[in-house]
Structure 1
Amino acid sequence: MQRVTNCILLNEGHILLLKKPSRGWYAIPGGKMEQGETIKESVTREFREETALELEDPKLMGAFTFNVYSNKELLQEWMMFTFICDTFKGELAEVCREGELVWVPQDQVHTLPMAEGDRSIYKHALHSKGMLYGSFDYTDQYSLIEMRLDPSGY
């Protein structure tokens, strides 16, 4: 099982997103955990590597499992830990090897192309203070099959 961390960075009514070239989808900056890292060490390192920004006191806001299927065969399984933060140091990188870094107004995030489950994660992050736990099942073409969220309502 792959483990990944990412962080929703809020700043002056905007969210920093990463536009991935492969699908043109927007995602939360982050990446794979390394052996022996805590999830907080991982999110801080991954965010810095992708954006050149140093997160200050990111807070865990969600833990999720993702399964990708071809027909009924499990192809990939991973766990994602999503943080939220509103303070940082540094200047945004001009170039990111993972895609294009973009500050998007918070009220426009829901209109962007992205994995369907991510919409629920953003909605929770922007409108709730509690933790969100979830499980997402996708096809190998990343069409959402099913999602389960706790608390529900997202």
Structure 2
Amino acid sequence: MQRVTNAVYIHDEQVLMLKKPRRNWYAAPGGKMEPEESINRAIKREYKEETGLKLINPKLSSVFNFVMDDDQEWMMFTYVCHQAEGKVLEHTPEGTLEWVPVNEVLSLPMAEGDRTLIKHAIEDPQFVLTGTFYYTYDFKLKEQIVDNQLV
């Protein structure tokens, strides 16, 4: 199982998003964890590598399994953060960084599971959302199971 982290960084009513060239989909910046790396260290390292920003007090927002038709499985740890230091990179090999107004983020093209995770992070409730996403080989969402949510 591959472990990955990402973060929804919200500043001045905007979210810093990464437009990935492969599908032209948007995602929250982040990436793969190193062996034995804690999730907190991983998100700080990955976010700085991809964006140039050092997150200050990121808060865990959700933990989801991504299960693919080809038997791959990932575990995604999504953080939300409202403070950072540094300057956003002008160029990153991962794609294009863009500031997007908070009220427009969920209308961007992205993986449907990511939409769920980003929505939860933006709403910033007081619990960690957990569950599983089941995807086809070409990354179409087949099923979404959410273990805990506000009723």
Q: Aligning the two structures, in what range does the TM-score lie when normalised by the shorter sequence?
A: over 0.9
Q: Which amino acid aligns with 2:17?
A: L
1:47 — aligned with what?
47
Paired residue for 1:144, among 131, 134, 141? 141
2:121 — aligned with what?
125
* TM-score normalised by the chain length of structure 2: 0.95
* TM-score normalised by the chain length of structure 1: 0.93
Is the partner of 1:147 in helix, strand or coil? strand
Q: Which runs of 5+ in 2 are unaligned?
A: none
Which structure 2 residues correspond to residues 61-80 of structure 1 after superposition, within 5 A? 61-69=61-69, 74-80=70-76
2:103 — aligned with what?
107
Separation (CA, whole Å) in 1 of partners of 2:33 and 2:49: 12
Separation (CA, whole Å) in 1 of partners of 2:126 and 2:109: 25
Is the partner of 2:87 in helix, strand or coil? coil
Q: Which amino acid aligns with 1:151?
A: N
Residue 125 of structure 1, CA deviation: 1.4
Separation (CA, whole Å) in 2 of partners of 1:153 and 1:58: 22
| Identity percentage of aligned residues | 47
Residue 151 of structure 1, CA deviation: 2.0
Residue 144 of structure 1, CA deviation: 0.4
Q: Which runs of 5+ in 1 are unaligned?
A: none
Which structure 2 residues correspond to residues 81-100 of structure 1 after superposition, within 5 A? 81-100=77-96
Separation (CA, whole Å) in 2 of partners of 1:40 and 1:131: 15
Separation (CA, whole Å) in 1 of partners of 2:150 and 2:60: 20
